[in-house]
């Protein structure tokens, strides 16, 4: 019996020497403590750098709701929005305007007639105020465009267009102009196609300035609209101030945006 065991052991030894059977060792890497930057792999480098300069898209995506106040001549206009669903509520002295995720509604608090277009306005100031992050929405196309030259500075431009059917006005176009050194957003050029439903050649310009940091995100405190000549900004027209800005990782309850019984659905 001992001889048999010895012969088997010797045979296995000789076989291993001739065949050199190798075994692979699996090494598991723990990535849980690593910070993975996904934005640069999804978006062009120029817009990714702008997102980073404003606090980072990964950080922004953790936010669930935003609120801000605009001081208008007739009183305060307070806006609250759930960022993922884009449900919104705008409370004004004479009116309340809301979007419940399906319909836009208007509640009149006085005999004063609402003079705007509710379906156009309900997310307009939200959109301007949360630049550049709303430009990370799905269905957006990016391309490099010629820079904006203003007061001796050349601002590189990123043109934004939308796939058909995206949003209320998919023919709208935007150009984000950023600081070539800091990559912060400096200008927004935009066209409006809501009423015409056709592409426009008329561009408006907003200067972004007086940034403030809220929950690590760099958002505009002041927007300045400019008088435009030959589709270029020439001089200041008016400022809009955003105050009492809050960001939260908690979404507001859906009931916040529900249509009151007395409100009217906007068709």
Task: Supply the CATH classification number for the domain 39-266.
Answer: 2.50.20
Distance, in Å, from the CA atom of 217 to the CA atom of 54, rounded to the nearest integer, reads: 6
The percent of residues in the chain predicted with pLDDT above 70, rounded, is 79
Query: What are the sequence ranges of the domains in the chain?
Result: 39-266
Examine residue 132 and say whether the peptide bond preceding it is cis (omega within 30 degrees of 0): yes
Using one digit for the tens of pLDDT, what is the confidence trace for 213-260?
999 999 999 999 999 999 999 999 999 999 999 999 999 999 999 999
> Could you tell me which residue, 106 or 24, shows the higher pLDDT?
106
Sign of CA dihedral 234, 240, 243, 245: negative
Q: pLDDT at residue 190 above 90?
A: yes
Q: pLDDT at residue 122 above 80?
A: yes
Q: pLDDT at residue 4 above 50?
A: no
Distance, in Å, from the CA atom of 113 to the CA atom of 88, rounded to the nearest integer, reads: 21
Please enumerate in sequence order all residues whose Cβ is within 8 A of that of 185, keeping only pairs 6 or more positions apart, or say none: 50, 53, 54, 131, 132, 176, 177, 178, 179, 208
| Stated pTM of the model | 0.79
Distances (CA, A) of 191 to 27, 94, 173, 175, 219: 54, 29, 6, 9, 22
């Amino acid at each position: 019996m001992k001889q048999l065991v010895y012969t088997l052991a010797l045979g296995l030894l000789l076989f291993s020497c001739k065949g050199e059977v190798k075994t692979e060792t699996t090494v598991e890497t723990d990535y849980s403590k690593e910070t993975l930057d996904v934005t640069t792999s999804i978006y062009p480098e120029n817009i990714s750098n702008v997102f980073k300069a404003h606090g980072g898209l990964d950080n922004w995506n953790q936010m669930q709701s935003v609120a801000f106040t605009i001081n208008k001549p007739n009183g305060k206009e307070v806006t609250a929005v759930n960022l993922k669903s884009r449900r919104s509520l705008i409370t004004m002295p004479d009116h309340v305007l809301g979007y419940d995720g399906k319909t836009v509604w208007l509640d009149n608090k006085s005999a004063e007639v609402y003079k705007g277009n509710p379906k156009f306005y309900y997310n307009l100031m939200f959109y301007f105020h949360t630049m550049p992050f709303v430009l990370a929405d799905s269905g957006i196309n990016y391309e490099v465009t010629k820079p904006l030259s203003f007061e001796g500075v050349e601002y590189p431009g990123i043109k934004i267009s939308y796939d058909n059917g995206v949003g209320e006005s998919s023919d709208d176009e935007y150009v984000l102009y950023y600081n070539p050194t800091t990559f912060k957003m400096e200008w927004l050029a935009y066209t409006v196609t809501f009423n015409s439903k056709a592409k426009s050649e008329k561009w408006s310009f907003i200067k972004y300035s007086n940034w403030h940091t809220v929950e690590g995100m760099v958002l505009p405190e002041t927007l300045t609209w400019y008088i435009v000549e030959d589709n270029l900004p020439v001089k200041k027209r008016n400022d809009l101030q955003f105050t009492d800005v809050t960001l939260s990782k908690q979404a507001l309850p859906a009931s916040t945006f529900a249509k009151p019984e007395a409100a009217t659905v906007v068709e």
